[in-house]
Amino acid sequence: MRIAVVGGGPGGLYFSALVKQLDRSHEVTIWERNAPDDTFGFGVVFSDETLGGIEHADPLVFAEMQRHFARWDDIDVHHRGTTTTSGGHGFAAMSRTELLGILQRRCGDLGVTVHYRAEAPHPDRLREEYDLVLAADGARSQLRTAYADVFRPSFETRRCKYMWLGTDLVFEAFKFYVEETPHGVMQIHGYPYDRTGSTFIVEMHDDVWQRAFGNIAALDLPPGESDTKSIALVEQLFAHVLDGHRVFANNSKWLNFLSLRNETWRHGNLVLIGDAAHTAHFSIGSGTKLAMEDALALAACLHEQPDLDTALTAYEAERRPVVLSTQRAAQASLEWFEDIGHYVHQEPEQFAFNIVTRSRRVTHENLRLRDPEFVAGIDTWFAGSQPVPTAPRPPMFHPYRLGHLELKNRIIVSAMDMYSAVDGLPTDFHLVHLGSKALGGAALVMTEMVCTSPEGRITPGCSGLYTPEQEAAWTRVVDFVHGATDARIGVQLGHSGRKGSTRLMWEGIDEPLPEGNWDVVAPSALPYSPANQVPRELSEAELADLRDEFVRNAEAAARAGFDVLELHCAHGYLLSSFISPLSNRRTDRYGGSLENRLRFPLEVFDAVRAVWPAERPMTVRISATDWFEGGTDVDDAVAVARAFAEHGADGIDVSTGQVVKEERPAFGRSYQTPYADRIRNEVGREFGVAVIAVGAISSYDDVNSILLAGRADLCALGRPHLYDPQWTLHAAADQEYAGPGVTWPDPFKAGSRRPQTGRSEGPRPRLELVRHGEPRTRHARWRPGSAPTG
């Protein structure tokens, strides 16, 4: 093939060397607008996985790179005068200049043509004259821009300023210096790249940068002089870190990170790699690393597939899931640094654990394998004044006080609609369902959303507490939980609002009933979707009646003996639809500003709190974002949580979405936890209320990591408990924990150890027999099921 490569950075060079190495008959030409010795930045970091691929693909390149590596295992977190070290991470870094030199020489040896200080021909001409055109020209790619209507890139400018600098101070580890300056919190990301220097990235929120460097930027200075003055101030602010060493620049400027995604990576014979296709924040690795991984995958697909179209399809199919996973981790990391001011109050042990696990890729269990001593230290810190047992207690099995209620551990069985009631009446199904979850080891089991009236049901299968018969049925469930287990049980009260009168979930979620519909109500006459009913807008008199319905149901819940009451203000149901501007367009005192939109939910909360026993906690579930433009966001969620805390809520259960049909959630592992994190470290800390994390938390490792990092106080899990009603008990067994944080019911104790499966892998039977004085070996043989002989 004739291959044109636009961009002579590591990605373009490495691809060219690989593809030429695989088939010398390829004609490969690179255009690079800069000089061969021009480079930006200082060091690049590689993971062991990436290096393994490079070593296998081109041992010569790897051997040259290895000669220049700086290697280290530790991450040092410097915070409030304390250095906390986490080891076992395995980093390798090198000078970007050295890497470019290695790849340039390799391309030269293989016969790749490289044009430096040269602009590439027009993209249309390249696509006509070459079989394959590779866009490796960075985040501002001209090739991608020429066909933006095809690639459909999306850009997001983030909220931190950073400057990429170098220093002649050679660090001995990956360094995070977190400084609380008079201007605000700033951080240094530092790591060595050779025997002479280290990368030194200074980063801070835009607001902090404006206070510290805004005056310099506002001066009418010649080009570059503003950056020089900024660098001098960086040296001054971090003089105690530099200890007499200097920082130096390499085309260093203040930047805001640009998150880039493309809907497709190819257009005919034109394909994107590296920063032209995607970006990932520097705090979780290197764009160079991703670009070289792209190059390796693309070269391999071209070599393995029978034609170009199949190869490019295979390349994107292989790399896109990996990159999306990396971008999710990078997004979590960059958002953590944007919000770092919310965490600096944490004690050094927790802060260090938090920063190391910020991307949610590194976890408590993963760190235990890397550095058992570090994890033992954070586990001991988490235990606080509690007696330390001989075997460590996993964080999830520490007790917690929710209001006046003592919970034996930090696990909640989340509220899950079962759609199995008959005319609002709970059945034996509810007894078995909730009873089995209570027997499974969780500290608190929540009912489904219990509806306040027949018209307040989501479906005909939803339960209520609005009749004496329903109260009696729920009392039976509560009595079983209290009598047979040491778990607590909570009721979630709610009203379906405009999402009511729909089919059972498995018959068509949110779809209207084919017949027998009832009228639905809402703050405004806006249907949930075009297929749903248009609700009736509630009058103020009707709002008062609805408030009283909640009160009557709460009184029934108290008589039934529930330990906790949760008010459902999430997922687009009635109270939630008052809070969201997407569903509340009222012009009276219950609409408009967030304060007004919160008015009715708070009136209901106050009325319920007044009749709910004072010694029993009351929580609120909220949707922290609507996942749609113009809806609520995390800043609104903090304000909503603060309002309920001010009115006496004991806990905030932080969910997201389900408010509008057209939502676009960013699904992923623990994807809702960042919202709980933000609320806990602002509202929870200020008011002492519990914060509950929910959403795609599926492993005990996730739970332990969330708790240790201070992202939530409790974790609510739904689907894992549907998969395994004894999930909490089994989590204890898998962690070899048998302390007071979990109780196996007496009838279950024989199953508290994982049963053996298949044959034992203990000492193997002896199959060779040597008799005394005999030089040869006789083999003992037997048929399966027979006794051994001989």
Token pair 């965490």 is found at 343
Q: Are 424 and 467 in contact (CB under 8 A)?
A: yes
Per the structure block, which two tokens stand in for 128?
């006509």
Catalytic residue flag (residue 573): yes
Cα–Cα distance, 358 to 233 (Å, whole number) = 29
CA neighbours within 13 Å on the CB side: how many for 414?
22
- Pairing status of strand 768-769 against strand 778-779: antiparallel
Phi then psi for 788, rounded to 5 degrees? -65, 145
- CB within 8 Å of 171: residues ≥ 6 apart: 190, 191, 192, 198
Burial environment of residue 251 by CB neighbours within 10 A (0 to 12, 13 to 18, 19 or more): exposed
CA distances from 645 to 403, 620, 682 (A): 12, 9, 11
**Three-state secondary structure of 345-378:** CCCHHHHHHHHHCCCCCCCHHHHHHHCHHHHHHH
**Phi and psi for 286 in degrees, rounded to 5?**
-125, 140
Q: Do residues 678 and 634 make contact, with C-beta atoms less than 8 angstroms apart?
A: yes
Alpha-carbon span 47 to 65, nearest angstrom? 13
Burial class of residue 390 in the structure, from the number of CB atoms within 10 Å of its CB (0-12 exposed, 13-18 middle, 19+ buried): exposed
Query: Phi and psi at residue 429, in whole multiples of 5°?
Result: -55, -45
Q: Name the catalytic one among 162, 573, 675, 700.
A: 573
Cα dihedral sign for 274, 275, 279, 282? positive
| Phi, psi (rounded to 5 degrees) for 218 | -80, -15
- Residues with catalytic roles: 573
